[in-house]
Amino acid sequence: MMAGLLTPRCKPVDAGRWILALALVFGGLPAAAADNGYRFELTPYAAYRMGGSFSDETNDIDLDIEDSAAQGFIVNGKVRSNTQWEVLYGRQATDISSAGLFDGDSLLDFDIEYMHFGGTYLFDGESVRPFVAMTIGVTHADPGDSAYGSENFFSASLGGGWNLAATNRFGIRLEVRAFMTFVDNNSTLFCESNAGEGECLIPIDSKTLTQWEARAGITWRF
């Protein structure tokens, strides 16, 4: 385990006003009549998530989030024929390692979750419909150790892919998406949770955390 710092736990970024703004934009639009007998889509998916690193200048190392499998679900609701609102949840159970000093050895269990709201634009098509999607929300980072507190940060995502219609009710969603999490520069992660001040596991000197995800899911329309 890495040597930590004695610093106050960093405060989570308040993303409430951004989520409210998107909700007003998409929620205020009139819902379109259902096309092909459906208005909603539910897509459970499996993915492979890559990238993500922190700069720890205190210990002069770079900390990498290990590439690994991820999973989650997406809910879409029709707004108009080419637009949808979108709710996204994704989770990755992985490790943080340092290639600089420990040659890729795992230093810390690390769970990262995205809880987002946004919208999707669908291009015209019949059995294949390309799309782009953008969301904002919260990144929840958990060290996997009950002695240390988790962290929440504001984040955004941008992605694109294809909806492939297998039947009127079921289809396949293929997508690549980038997640950008905005962290406090010169801050700390995962401080002891039993007090306002205590040991923190990771001092960081980074402004953003970027991850990429390639995913495939089965879509149910209803």
The whole-number pLDDT of residue 197 equals 55
The whole-number pLDDT of residue 36 equals 66
Q: Which residue has the higher pLDDT, 22 or 88?
A: 88
Instruction: Examine the pLDDT at 26 and tell me if it is beyond 70.
Output: no
Structural domains of the chain, ranges and CATH numbers in brackets: 5-29+41-221 (2.40.160.20)
Instruction: Examine the pLDDT at 174 and tell me if it is beyond 90.
Output: yes
pLDDT band at 198 (very low <50, low <70, confident <90, very high): low
What is the pTM (predicted TM-score) of this model?
0.78
The whole-number pLDDT of residue 6 equals 31
Calculate the average pLDDT of the chain: 80
Strand order in the sheet with 197-204: 5-8, 197-204, 187-191
Q: Which region among 44-58, 97-111, 124-138 has the lowest average model confidence (pLDDT)?
A: 97-111
